C-alpha cells in the first residue's frame, strides 16, 4: 500500500492576527497561501478563531490570489461535506470553486448540495450506470479490460471538462460497525467506478475518500484502484487523516486516495505533519448551542422513547458518562463491547465519530454533556464542519425529515479532512486549465 509519494514536501501552516484581522499563511509544495478573515481573535487561539469564523459563515479572502476556476465533479456527493473543505481551500487560494456535476442517488441530498455550491448539473441514477468498464488481473496488477467509457452524454461533457474528480463511495460495507457484510459488501465494488470514470474522462486529479477499514476489503479495492490509476499514468498517494490530530473537536478518521496525472500528490503524512495541532474539546464547538432555539428544525433535539429518556436521566442523576448494564436493553445486560452506546459526551474531550445515528442515544455516545438529550442536527453539523449558514432546507414547504438530516450530516466528510486531502491534491500546483483561465 502506498502511503505517499514524495517525502520532501514539508511545509508550514501558521495562523495569527493582524490589526483585528485573522491571517492564515500556508506553504507546502508549490502553494504559497496568505488569506485573511474579518473575525475576532478569541482566547488567543488564532487557528480556532479562524475555524469559528468559518463555522459562523465568514469566508477568507486570498491576499495573493491565484485566480482561475477549479471545475469540480463530485460523485456519491451526499449533501456536500467533501465539497466544503475543497471550497474553503479555494477561497484561501483565491480560486473559484465551480461545481460542474453532483451525483448521488439521493436527489434531495443533491438539491441541498446544489443550493449551497451552485451546481450546474445533478445526476440521480446509480454511479455504476454512468460508466462502462471491465477489470482484469495480470501478473503486473489490475488493468482495465478495455478503455472505460462514460455512457451518459450530459455526464460525459461535465466530467470531461473537470479539473478535479472527488468521490465518497458507500462505506457501510467497510465499516467496523457492519458485522454482517464487512469487507465483502457488493457496494464495495462501487469504489472502482471512480478510477474508471477518471480514466474515461482523462480527469487530471482525483480524490477518493472512505473509512480507514477500506484497506482491509476482501476484494482489495484500494490496491486495485491504485493499479488502475498507475497503469494510466497517474501518480498515487494513499493514507489516513485524523480530524482531531489537526485540532478539530471530533476523532473522525478517513482514508484518502489521491491520484494526479502530471506530478505526484503531496504525501498524506506530510500534509498531516503541516496541519498537526492539539485537539479542541467538544464544548469549544457547541457551547453556545446548549439551549439554542433559533431554528425549529436544526436546533430541535429528537424525541426520546420512555426507555431512552429514563437511561439519559440516569446518567445525569448519577453524574455518569457510561450507562450501567442493569438499565441497558436486555441484549446488553450480560456485557457489551459497545460501552459507548447510550453514553454521555464529555465537554473537555473531542466528540467521537459522528455517524448517521448521532441524534439517538442508543446509536453511540451521543447524549449531550450538560442537557438530558441527544445532539441536535445543528450540533452534529458543526462537528462535521458545516457552517451555520449552510442550507439544509431547500423548499421551506417541504423541510427534510430527521432521518434524512441524520444521514446527510452523519455521512459527510468533516471540512478539515477534505481541506487536507485537497492540499495533497493541489499542493503540487494548480492544474494547467485553472492557471490558463486565470491569465
Dist CA 77 CA 187 (whole Å): 16
Beta-bridged to residue 255, according to DSSP, are: 210, 240
Please check whether residue 266 is in contact with residue 361, taking contact to mean a CB–CB distance below 8 angstroms.
no
Query: Other C-beta atoms within 10 Å of 354: how many?
Result: 26
Catalytic residue, candidates 171, 206, 238, 397:
171
Dist CA 18 CA 236 (whole Å): 38
Residue 171 is a catalytic residue: yes
Dist CA 262 CA 429 (whole Å): 10
Using alpha carbons only, give the angle 251, 323, 336 rounded to the nearest 5 degrees.
75
Using alpha carbons only, give the angle 72, 73, 78 rounded to the nearest 5 degrees.
115
Dist CA 109 CA 98 (whole Å): 18
Beta-bridged to residue 72, according to DSSP, are: 99, 164
CA distances from 247 to 224, 270, 275 (A): 33, 16, 8
By 3-state DSSP, what share of the chain in percent is helix, strand and coil, each rounded to 5? 35, 20, 45
Please check whether residue 102 is in contact with residue 110, taking contact to mean a CB–CB distance below 8 angstroms.
yes
CA distances from 37 to 18, 83, 106, 315, 389 (A): 10, 20, 34, 41, 16
Residues in CB range of 208: below 8 A, 6 or more apart? 166, 167, 168, 169, 191, 194, 225, 256, 257, 259
Picking from 336, 386, 337, the residue whose alpha carbon sits closest to that of residue 358 is 386
Task: Detail the DSSP E strand segments found in 60-115.
Answer: 61-62, 69-75, 96-103
Three-state secondary-structure class, residue 429: coil
C-alpha cell at 393: 432546507
Catalytic residues: 171
Amino acid at each position: 500500500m502506498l502511503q505517499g509519494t514524495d517525502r520532501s514536501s514539508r511545509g508550514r501552516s501558521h495562523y495569527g492576527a493582524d490589526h483585528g484581522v485573522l491571517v492564515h499563511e500556508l506553504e507546502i509544495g508549490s502553494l504559497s497561501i496568505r488569506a485573511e478573515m474579518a473575525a475576532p481573535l478569541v482566547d488567543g487561539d488564532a487557528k480556532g478563531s479562524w475555524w469559528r469564523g468559518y463555522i459562523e459563515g465568514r469566508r477568507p479572502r486570498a491576499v495573493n490570489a491565484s485566480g482561475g476556476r477549479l471545475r469540480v465533479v463530485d460523485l456519491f456527493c451526499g449533501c456536500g461535506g467533501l465539497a466544503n473543505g475543497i471550497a474553503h481551500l479555494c477561497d484561501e487560494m483565491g480560486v473559484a470553486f465551480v461545481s460542474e456535476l453532483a451525483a448521488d442517488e439521493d436527489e434531495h441530498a443533491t438539491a441541498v448540495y446544489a443550493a449551497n455550491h451552485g451546481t450546474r448539473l445533478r445526476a440521480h441514477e446509480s454511479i455504476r450506470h454512468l460508466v462502462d468498464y471491465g477489470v482484469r488481473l495480470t501478473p503486473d496488477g489490475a488493468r482495465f479490460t478495455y478503455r472505460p467509457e462514460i455512457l451518459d452524454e450530459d455526464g460525459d461533457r461535465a466530467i470531461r471538462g473537470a479539473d478535479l474528480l472527488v468521490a465518497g463511495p458507500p462505506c457501510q460495507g467497510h465499516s467496523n460497525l457492519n458485522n454482517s457484510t464487512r469487507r465483502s459488501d457488493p457496494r464495495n465494488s462501487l469504489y472502482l467506478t471512480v478510477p474508471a470514470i477518471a480514466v474515461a474522462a482523462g480527469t487530471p486529479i482525483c480524490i477518493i475518500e472512505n473509512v480507514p477499514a477500506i484497506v482491509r476489503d476482501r476484494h482489495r479495492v484500494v490496491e486495485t484502484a491504485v493499479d488502475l490509476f498507475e497503469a494510466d499514468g497517474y501518480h498515487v498517494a494513499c493514507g489516513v487523516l485524523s480530524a482531531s490530530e489537526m485540532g478539530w473537536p471530533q476523532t473522525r478518521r478517513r482514508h484518502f486516495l489521491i491520484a494526479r496525472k502530471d506530478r505526484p500528490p503531496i504525501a498524506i503524512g506530510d500534509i498531516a505533519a503541516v496541519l498537526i495541532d492539539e485537539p479542541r474539546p467538544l464544548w469549544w464547538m457547541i457551547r453556545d448551542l446548549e439551549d439554542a432555539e433559533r431554528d425549529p428544525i436544526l436546533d430541535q433535539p429528537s424525541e426520546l422513547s420512555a426507555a431512552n429518556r429514563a437511561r439519559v436521566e440516569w446518567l445525569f442523576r448519577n453524574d455518569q458518562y457510561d450507562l450501567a448494564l442493569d438499565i441497558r436493553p436486555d441484549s446488553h445486560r450480560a456485557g457489551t463491547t459497545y460501552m459507548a452506546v447510550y453514553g454521555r459526551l464529555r465537554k473537555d474531550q473531542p466528540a467521537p465519530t459522528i455517524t448517521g445515528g448521532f441524534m439517538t442515544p442508543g446509536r453511540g455516545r451521543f447524549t449531550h454533556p450538560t442537557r438530558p438529550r441527544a445532539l441536535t442536527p445543528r450540533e452534529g453539523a458543526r462537528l462535521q464542519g458545516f457552517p451555520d449558514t449552510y442550507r439544509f432546507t431547500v423548499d421551506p414547504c417541504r423541510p427534510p425529515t430527521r432521518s434524512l438530516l441524520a444521514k446527510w450530516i452523519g455521512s459527510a466528510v468533516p471540512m478539515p479532512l477534505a481541506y487536507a486531502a485537497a492540499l495533497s491534491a493541489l499542493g503540487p500546483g494548480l492544474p494547467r486549465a485553472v492557471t490558463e483561465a486565470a491569465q
